[in-house]
Amino acid sequence: MSDLYRSAMHARIAKLPPVPTTLWPATTAPSYDEDEEEDEEDELDSLGDLPTGLGPPAMPAHTPRDRSRTVTQSRVGQRQKEQREAEINERYAPISASGFFEQALQVAVPNRNLDMRVYYTPPQLPQGSNGKGTVLLCHHGAGYSGLSFACFAREVWDMTKGELGVLSVDARAHGKTTSTSQDPPQQEDLSIDVLVQDFVELIKVVYPDPASSPTLLLVGHSMGGAITTRAIPLLQTSRYNITGTVVLDVVEGSALDALPHMNSILNARPVGFDSVPKAVEWHVNTNTIRNETSARVSVPSIVHPTQLKVPSMPAYEWRTPLRSTAPYWESWFRGLSSSFLAARTARLLILAGTDRLDRELTIGQMQGKFQMAVVQGVGHMLHEDDPRKLAEIVVEFWKRNERLPINVKKVGEL
């Protein structure tokens, strides 16, 4: 009976799967050589003690060898961090604006209590010419600065051999424009009427005599487009010669529709940055600005050292806290389409990709009241993303309208 029982048991055991030769957790440490240990340390340094899906991670053994490994990993991690910092500092180091504009000036505008920063390259007229030349007056969007037009200005200079000048301005509470008011510091008023008056008064200081002033072609990006468009009738009343207006990537209907989502967009932005190169890196890596060179020129002007020294705060913060400008957002864009269509000059709207025109602009386009161009492969900062393409469009627009005989209508002009 016992032999029969044993035979049955052997038969059952034979059908079972083979027993593994090692069990987890291992009771003895596996053997390895030094090269394998270094490879394993590199992997641990990059991945950390993460679960692998093959069971819970083993508890660290408190042995001198394990402590040595921890110290080695820490040193390797520190070296990698330092190497990464060095790469960022080299690749995204700020670039001076001196290679893109001829002058950087602080212009006092007393009746606005402002000391405004402008970047200027005056037009170089052909020898023997009696003309006054033409200057592009460029105004940036909310949160940016006049240096967002730096690469564009250089392209315009090269294409026109200096015949077309560029003046780009830092608005109130942006860039290096500062208040000269003796009143206690308070939140800047960035309503549309204030910003338009700032811009108009600046032009009057830079070109005090409209009769001898160069012809002006206004270029505004986003919020800047709303400002330059509304400034046209005021400048024309003062007898400045406006040859055209160019609005970059802003449509009243789309802008107003996007306002309820602005806080969510701002929430995705970091509070600040540990360094200026890291601010540049963030703009490039998030495709906020797709041109590294332009980002290295413009981004340093939109951050500054953190004012409130708190250990948890980064070293650099945004120069213009966009969330605080929320009360003015609607005033910037409400009525933009009608102002654009009513401008008594040539009109050009340039969009980044196919955007939806509002009803007023759709009707205006069908009636031929303005010229429209679409730049592919760029984001909202199209003048930074592809400055050459934008310069080609604007220079062609200037050529078609600046050199027309008297009494011949310009592009988009009624």
**What pLDDT score does 412 carry?**
52
Query: Do the Cβ atoms of 200 and 235 come closer than 8 Å?
Result: yes
Handedness of CA 344, 346, 350, 355 (dihedral sign): positive
Catalytic pick from 139, 174, 283, 380?
Answer: 380
Cis peptide leading into 51, omega within 30 of 0?
no
Query: Do the Cβ atoms of 156 and 122 come closer than 8 Å?
Result: no
Higher confidence at residue 78 or residue 109?
A: 109
Domains assigned to the chain: 101-273+321-402 (3.40.50.1820)
Q: Mark whether 33 is an active-site residue.
A: no
Q: What band does 127 get if pLDDT is binned at 50, 70 and 90?
A: confident
Q: What band does 45 get if pLDDT is binned at 50, 70 and 90?
A: very low
**What pLDDT score does 328 carry?**
95
Buried b (16+ CB within 10 A) or exposed e, 373-393: bebeebbbbbbbbbbebbbbb
Whose structure tokens read 């392209």?
155
> Is the confidence at residue 55, as pLDDT, over 50?
no
Q: What band does 193 get if pLDDT is binned at 50, 70 and 90?
A: very high
Query: Do the Cβ atoms of 229 and 340 come closer than 8 Å?
Result: yes
> Is the confidence at residue 333, as pLDDT, over 90?
yes
Q: How far is it, in rounded angstroms, from Cα 102 to Cα 119?
A: 8
| Average pLDDT of the chain, as a whole number | 84
Q: Mark whether 238 is an active-site residue.
A: no
Q: How far is it, in rounded angstroms, from Cα 65 to Cα 173?
A: 58
**What pLDDT score does 46 carry?**
36
- Express as a percent the part of the chain with pLDDT over 70: 77
**What pLDDT score does 66 carry?**
60
Q: What is the mean pLDDT of residues 70-93?
A: 83
Query: Do the Cβ atoms of 132 and 214 come closer than 8 Å?
Result: yes
Q: What band does 215 get if pLDDT is binned at 50, 70 and 90?
A: very high
Q: Of 397, 85, 129, 65, which Cα lies nearest the Cα of 248? A: 397
> Is the confidence at residue 122, as pLDDT, over 60?
yes
Phi-psi domain of 162 (left: phi exceeds 0; alpha: psi -120 through 50; beta: other)? left
Q: If 0-12 CB within 10 Å is exposed, 13-18 middle and 19+ buried, where does residue 31 land?
A: exposed
| Residue 252 in tokens | 């009243």
Residues 6+ away with beta carbon under 8 Å from 123: 133, 134, 135, 162, 163, 164, 165, 214
**What pLDDT score does 71 carry?**
64
Question: DSSP letters along 345-400, please?
Answer: SEEEEEEESS----HHHHHHHHTT-SEEEEESS--S-HHHHSHHHHHHHHHHHHHH
Catalytic pick from 148, 222, 294, 339?
Answer: 222
Q: Tell me the sheet residues that pair with 371.
A: 348
Four-CA torsion 172, 176, 181, 187, nearest 10 degrees? 50
**What pLDDT score does 181 carry?**
86
> Is the confidence at residue 76, as pLDDT, over 70?
yes
Half-sphere exposure of 56 (CA within 13 A, CB side): 3
**What pLDDT score does 41 carry?**
39
What are the angstrom distances between the C-alpha of 117 and each of 145, 176, 199, 388? 9, 6, 12, 25
For 175, other C-beta atoms within 10 Å of its C-beta total 26
pLDDT digits (tens, 9 = 90+) for 254-310: 999 999 999 898 998 999 999 999 999 999 999 999 999 999 999 999 999 998 878
| Residue 128 in tokens | 């023997």
Q: Mark whether 249 is an active-site residue.
A: yes
| Residue 33 in tokens | 């050589």
Catalytic pick from 249, 358, 385, 386?
Answer: 249
Q: How far is it, in rounded angstroms, from Cα 152 to Cα 166?
A: 9
Q: How far is it, in rounded angstroms, from Cα 101 to Cα 167?
A: 9
Q: What band does 403 get if pLDDT is binned at 50, 70 and 90?
A: low
**What pLDDT score does 186 carry?**
64
**What pLDDT score does 394 carry?**
98
